[in-house]
Chain A
Amino acid sequence: MKPSVIEMIYSQHDEIIRQWKNEVTELNQFDSTLPTNWFHETNEEFVNLIMGTLELEENEAKEQFRSFAERLMNAGWPLSYFTKGMQLFRRVLVQMLTSDESFESEKVFETLNEVEKWVDGVINQLVDEYTGSWENTLHLQKLALKELSAPLIPVFEKISVMPLVGTIDTERAKLIMENLLEGIIEHRSQVVLIDITGVPVVDTMVAHHIIQASEAVRLVGAECILVGIRPEIAQTIINLGIDLRKFPTKSTLRKGIETGLELTQRKIISTS
């Protein structure tokens, strides 16, 4: 920012801060969960930060805003607080410039231009900062979900189990299918049991994914048994008219494993 503009702002320092604080107090209405004194403290800090960074180098100013935003972000402050705060700061400046007739109009324009540029720069940076953090969170959560998603567990020679927990969407279904097929090759399984005990809802879409997975499993040379079908799921499947007759289904994993052993010509016997 140009020194002349900074000087102009500093000359009205106290007045700007007073007006800004007045206006910003109204902001507290959008988030009443924030304690009042904390809100005032943060306002104080924010406006001092704005004032303090006016004459700093761009990079240095950005760094200061970054650390401030990061701190508040972690405390759960909304992004709108920052954007509105910056917009208010601009509005206060504009009001001040236009109401004071001692300024020449040319100088007012120049100043406004400078202020506009500066405020927009800061807002953009804050928005970037916030979206970056959101994307990061989203990425981590996706990763966590992926890790939880679909392990294939070898339980006997030639028999593996894939327990599914939670809702299945298209993306997850894809992942399930990939894990399933690669796991089959890796463990050399002939029978895989897909356990849907932990799947809360089985609608046509979920059923479609399961059918596709089981067909793919057959193509790579193994067999699929669907286990963990609860009474309500059996009812929905039939009521929706879904045809699951192409592959065996069982109510519990235990029965499924018995069938799996049978398919591979084995059985569990008691040693006594």
Chain B
Amino acid sequence: MRIPILKLKNYLLISVQVDLDDQTALQFQEDLLNKIHQEGSFGVVIDLTSVEMIDSFIAKVLGDVVEMSNLMGAKVVLTGIQPGVAITLIDMGIVLDEVPTALDLEQGLDKLQQELEA
């Protein structure tokens, strides 16, 4: 299964609608990096509102994707992480230190804009 990546002006929007499995996550990592390369995007918002569970591998992939995208010059913001997911991540000791987060898509876009302007 592939996760659709939408382009909006200079940004890329991804809304993850299913619980990610390892294969999908790796595929997504590849697709996103290709898309950034192709479109020359400045910013990426990954919305996780409908994701109910994130395991340590998916968390690592997400962290990696953020860093890889940063390397390619695109800022990434994770949005809509659910309370339950946040608690599980913290319990597992995964803090995603370097990753900017926002409450929802709207605030995520605002945050991207701020970061890009700064």
User: Which residues of B have CB within 8 Å of A188?
Assistant: 103-104, 107
Which one of B78, B87, B107 lies within 8 Å of A216 (CB-CB)?
B87
Count of chain A to chain B residue pairs whose CB atoms are closer than 8 Å in the complex = 55
In the complex, per-residue mask of B86-118: 1 if CB is within 8 Å of any chain A CB, else 0: 110110000110000111100110000000000
Task: Tell me the nearest residue of chain B to A177, going by C-beta.
Answer: B87
| B interface size (C-beta, 8 A) | 19
User: Which residues of A have CB within 8 Å of B101?
Assistant: 218-221
Bound together, the chains give a CA A212 to CA B94 distance in angstroms of 10
| A interface size (C-beta, 8 A) | 18
Tell whether B82 is near chain A: CB-to-CB under 8 Å. Answer: yes
Q: Which residues of B contact A (CB under 8 A)?
A: 78-83, 85-87, 89-90, 95-96, 101-104, 107-108
- Besides A181-B86, A218-B101, 20 new A-B residue pairs in contact (Cβ under 8 A), listed by A number: A178-B83, A181-B83, A181-B87, A184-B103, A185-B82, A190-B103, A190-B107, A215-B95, A216-B87, A216-B89, A216-B90, A218-B95, A219-B78, A219-B81, A219-B96, A219-B101, A221-B79, A221-B81, A221-B102, A221-B108
* Structural contact, B83 and A221, CB atoms closer than 8 A: no
Bound together, the chains give a CA A217 to CA B81 distance in angstroms of 10
* Structural contact, A221 and B90, CB atoms closer than 8 A: no
* Structural contact, A221 and B95, CB atoms closer than 8 A: no
Bound together, the chains give a CA A116 to CA B86 distance in angstroms of 58
User: Which residues of A have CB within 8 Å of B102?
Assistant: 221
* Structural contact, B87 and A185, CB atoms closer than 8 A: no
In the complex, per-residue mask of A181-222: 1 if CB is within 8 Å of any chain B CB, else 0: 110110011100000000000000000000010011111111
27 residue pairs A–B, Cβ–Cβ below 8 Å: A177-B87, A178-B83, A181-B83, A181-B86, A181-B87, A184-B83, A184-B103, A185-B83, A185-B103, A188-B103, A188-B107, A190-B107, A216-B83, A216-B87, A216-B89, A217-B86, A218-B95, A218-B101, A219-B85, A219-B96, A219-B101, A220-B82, A220-B86, A220-B101, A221-B78, A221-B108, A222-B103
